[in-house]
């Protein structure tokens, strides 16, 4: 009788949604990964994001609170590819036993565009992965790989939640398929000759490869690098030679550089693109899907007219 009661109780425990204190603690390095983990983990996970909305993950300075959060977490979800240069030391200092999950595993990476010798000085103090472009999430097909990796990591950490994680991931992957179609439909509205824009830092290479819009940026793949006068002169020359119609601001970057380039070339400012960070709930891009949708609509309305 007692044994039956125990079995019934444990079945009940498995069927009930995890209570707050039983949730799987997951730390995501930046807001976009946090959104993916929430979409797959649902009520079973408690997600904390180190670099929050509008933060710049390239140049983040971790706090003691971050080390505490990592120490308490079951999983730490990171992009890798050199994006979170500050993370290994933070994980080490936290002394935790969390599993580190690199969600770009299996993604075909692209090399950063070096633009001849224009960036030679910018990279002199960089780290090992500086020539790999880390912004893989900007292609929706890549985001699907991120989501699959997160699903598998959550199942590994919490096998009792497997059915939930699989169902959540499947539903979210279907939304990403629809988003990918939407981006392609929007790009098709832009005349082929106008699919060329200027952004602040080189964050849209994967987007460009996936959807056929060329992005040129005065700053390299990391916002750490400084923009030289030579880089700016090169961009201005390119805008004039290729008759590039629009330049775009970025939510994580100082707008003054792009404003100056616009003023000198007469290219119009097409709006703000979200590259490496989501916004707060009341902003234009509180989720990854909102971000991609905002970006493609901003591009289309500036370029299709
Ligand atoms: Zn970036």
CA pseudo-torsion sign 38, 40, 42, 48: negative
Domain encompassing residue 296: 186-303
Task: Report the separation in Å between the CA atom of 220 and the middle of ligand 1, taken as the mean of its atom positions.
Answer: 9
The whole-number average pLDDT for the span 24-29 is 98
The answer, yes or no, to whether residue 113 has pLDDT greater than 50, is yes
State whether 62 and 168 are in the same domain: yes
Distance from the alpha carbon of residue 20 to the mean position of ligand 1, in angstroms: 34
Query: If you measure from the C-alpha of residue 283 to the centroid of ligand 1, how many angstroms do you get, rounded to a whole number?
Result: 19
Are residue 228 and residue 147 in the same domain, yes or no? no
Q: From ligand 1's centre to the CA of 205, what distance in Å?
A: 10
User: The CATH number of the domain where 55 resides is what?
Assistant: 3.40.50.1980
Confidence of residue 22 (pLDDT cuts 50, 70, 90): confident
Ligand 1 centroid to 57 CA: how many Å?
Answer: 7
DSSP-assigned states of every residue in 142-195: HHHHHHHHHHHHHHHH-GGGHHHHHHHHHHHHHHHHHHHHHHHHHHHTS-GGG-
CB 258 within 8 A of CB 201: no
Residues 193 and 162 in one domain: no
Buried b vs exposed e over 253-265: b needs ≥16 C-beta within 10 Å? beeebbeebbeeb
Last residue of a domain, one of 176, 208, 235: 176
CA 117 to ligand 1 centroid distance, Å: 20
Residue 119, pLDDT > 70, answer no
Q: How far is the CA of 113 from the centre of ligand 1 (A)?
A: 13
Contacts of 237 (CB under 8 A, 6+ apart): none
The whole-angstrom separation of Cα 241 and Cα 194 is 13
Residues 169 and 43 in one domain: yes
Same domain, 192 and 283: yes
Ligand 1 center–CA 148 separation, angstroms:
23
Would you say residue 121 lies in a domain? no
* CA 13–ligand 1 middle distance (angstroms): 43
Q: Is residue 123 in a domain?
A: no
Q: Say what the pTM is.
A: 0.88
- 166 and 204 housed in the same domain: no
HEC secondary structure over 213-259: CEEECCECCCCCCCCCHHHHHHHHHHHHHHCCCEEEEECCCCCHHHH
* Confidence label for 11 from pLDDT (cuts 50, 70 and 90): low
Q: Please state the domain count of the chain.
A: 2
Domain assignment of residue 8, yes or no: no
Beta bridge mates, 181: none
- Over residues 46-105, the pLDDT tens digits come to 999 999 988 999 999 999 999 999 999 999 999 999 999 999 999 999 987 889 999 999
pLDDT at 15 over 70: no
**Measured between alpha carbons, how far is 165 from 160 in angstroms, rounded to an integer?**
10
Verify that 169 and 64 share a domain, yes or no: yes
Which of 142, 176, 210 finishes a domain?
176
Q: 102 CA to middle of ligand 1, Å?
A: 17
Measured over the CA atoms of residue 117, residue 119, residue 123 and residue 124, the dihedral's sign is positive
Label the pairing between strands 45-51 and 196-198.
unpaired
Q: Is residue 4 part of a domain?
A: no
CA of 14 to the centre of ligand 1 (A): 41
Q: Are residues 165 and 46 both part of a single domain?
A: yes
């Amino acid at each position: 009788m007692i044994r039956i009661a125990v079995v019934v109780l444990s079945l009940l425990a498995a069927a009930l949604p995890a209570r707050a204190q039983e949730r799987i603690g997951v730390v995501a390095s930046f807001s976009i990964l946090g959104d993916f983990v929430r979409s797959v983990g649902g009520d079973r996970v408690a997600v904390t994001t180190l670099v929050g909305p509008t933060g710049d993950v390239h140049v983040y300075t971790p706090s003691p609170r971050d080390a505490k959060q990592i120490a308490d977490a079951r999983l730490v979800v990171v992009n890798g590819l050199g994006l979170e240069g500050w993370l290994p030391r933070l994980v080490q200092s936290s002394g935790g036993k969390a599993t580190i999950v690199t969600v770009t595993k299996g993604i075909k990476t692209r090399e950063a565009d070096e633009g001849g010798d224009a960036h030679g000085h910018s990279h002199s103090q960089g780290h090992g992965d500086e020539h790999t472009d880390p912004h893989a999430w900007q292609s929706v097909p890549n985001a699907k790989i991120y989501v699959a990796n997160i699903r598998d990591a959550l199942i590994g950490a919490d096998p009792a939640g497997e059915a939930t994680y699989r169902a959540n991931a499947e539903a979210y992957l279907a939304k990403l398929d629809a988003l990918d179609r939407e981006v392609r439909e929007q790009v098709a509205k832009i005349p082929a000759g106008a699919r060329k824009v200027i952004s602040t830092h080189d964050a849209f290479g994967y987007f460009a490869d996936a959807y056929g819009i060329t992005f040129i940026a005065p700053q390299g793949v990391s916002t750490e690098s400084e923009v030289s006068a030579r880089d700016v002169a090169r961009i201005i020359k390119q805008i004039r030679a290729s008759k590039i119609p629009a330049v775009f601001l970025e939510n994580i970057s100082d707008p003054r550089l792009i404003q100056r380039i616009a003023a000198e070339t007469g290219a119009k400012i097409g709006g703000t693109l979200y590259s490496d960070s989501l916004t707060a709930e009341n902003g234009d891009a509180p989720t990854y899907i909102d971000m991609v949708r905002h970006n493609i609509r901003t591009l289309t309305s500036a370029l299709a007219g």
